[in-house]
Amino acid sequence: MGAAAVFVVAILAVASPAAAAAGAERGGLVTIPPGLYTPFQRVKAANSGETEAQAPEAIAAFAMDRAPVTNAEYLGFVTAHPEWRKSWTKTLFADGRYLGRWPADLDFGHAEAGDRPVTDVSWFAARAYCKTRGLDLPTTAQWEYALADAGRDEARVRARSLEWFSRPNGAGPGAIGGPVNGYGVGNLIGLVWEWTEDFNAYAITAESRDPNGNDSAAVCGGAAAGIADASDYPAFMRASMRASLKANYTADMLGFRCAGGAP
């Protein structure tokens, strides 16, 4: 790498104020208070037929983007980081559909797309973007905790998710914005799926119907087995979506937002 790497860092330093400004425009980070979160999937302990109830996890305070990262923001990133432009990126890091809606390396198409979540980005790419902001992708627990919103409006959130699944596919996601939840986070549902840092944490079994998870010759420790609330279809849908992904996959309705430790 040598000189080239140094140069990238130099550009980064110049570019990041611009990225931060763009972030501020749409509200940037929101602080989420600490609390408890019970994962949707229950875990089967190693060498046991029993499915243990999943213990609630303590979630420390963290910060999270108010909305998914937009095409305009992502353009700033690929401009400063040529290795993430669509014609430069390697298949290890992003499959052939990476930034598929973009007509060219530094062009996301229609001006309105600027406010829309960037999609067709891989986990590697999303993560690299967040790193340039000193952030990470949210963990699945953080993301779900933010959506759970301390139980506020649960029924309506589920109903809106189901409506999203029932909406015809077409032009792609709409613009970010609109109402936020009790934590001040918006657009968690209804626009795009979102990457999480540990998206593959529960993908240990691909056969989602087996209540006992899977055979012990394939997994260590325990496997996701059983679920906390069988009537929460949207949670199933998110779990299945995450389980279907590999880190270099991109999809038309899959975007991301960043998160980090409390500021």
Question: Considering the rule CB under 8 A, would residue 76 count as an interface residue with another protein?
Answer: yes
Compare residues 31 and 91 and give the one whose CB is closer to another protein: 91
Query: Considering only residues 171-200, where is the footprint of another protein by CB under 8 A?
Result: 193, 197-198, 200
- Residue 187 structure tokens: 């657009």
Question: Considering the rule CB under 8 A, would residue 132 count as an interface residue with another protein?
Answer: no
The DSSP code for 117 is B
Q: Segment near another protein (CB under 8 A), from 29-37, 62-70, 120-128, 174-182?
A: 120-128
Q: How far apart, in whole angstroms, are the C-alpha atoms of residue 113 and residue 102?
A: 10
Q: Segment near another protein (CB under 8 A), from 4-12, 30-38, 176-184, 255-263?
A: 4-12
Question: Considering the rule CB under 8 A, would residue 36 count as an interface residue with another protein?
Answer: no
Question: CA distances (Å), 205 to each of 90, 213, 224, 242, in order?
Answer: 28, 6, 7, 12
The DSSP code for 36 is E
Question: Considering the rule CB under 8 A, would residue 20 count as an interface residue with another protein?
Answer: no
Helix axes 71-80, 123-132, angle to 10 degrees: 80
- Give exposure, 22-57, as e/b (b: 16+ Cβ within 10 Å): bbeebbbbbebeeeebbbbbbbbeeeeeebeebeee
Question: Considering the rule CB under 8 A, would residue 48 count as an interface residue with another protein?
Answer: no
Query: Considering only residues 138-157, where is the footprint of another protein by CB under 8 A?
Result: none
Question: Considering the rule CB under 8 A, would residue 104 count as an interface residue with another protein?
Answer: no
Among 227, 229, 222, CA closest to 204 = 222
Say if residues 70 and 20 touch (Cβ distance below 8 Å). Answer: no
CB of 91 to another protein, least distance (A): 4
Question: CA distances (Å), 200 to each of 68, 70, 229, in order?
Answer: 20, 24, 20
Compare residues 182 and 210 and give the one whose CB is closer to another protein: 210
Q: Segment near another protein (CB under 8 A), from 59-67, 143-151, 178-186, 252-260?
A: 252-260
Question: Considering the rule CB under 8 A, would residue 253 count as an interface residue with another protein?
Answer: yes
Which position among 37, 62, 102, 124 is part of the footprint of another protein (CB under 8 A)?
A: 124
Q: How far apart, in whole angstroms, are the C-alpha atoms of residue 16 and residue 211?
A: 47
Compare residues 68 and 222 and give the one whose CB is closer to another protein: 222
Which position among 38, 180, 184, 236 is part of the footprint of another protein (CB under 8 A)?
A: 236
Say if residues 204 and 223 touch (Cβ distance below 8 Å). Answer: yes
Compare residues 13 and 262 and give the one whose CB is closer to another protein: 13
CB of 257 to another protein, least distance (A): 18
Q: Segment near another protein (CB under 8 A), from 41-49, 60-68, 145-153, 176-184?
A: 41-49
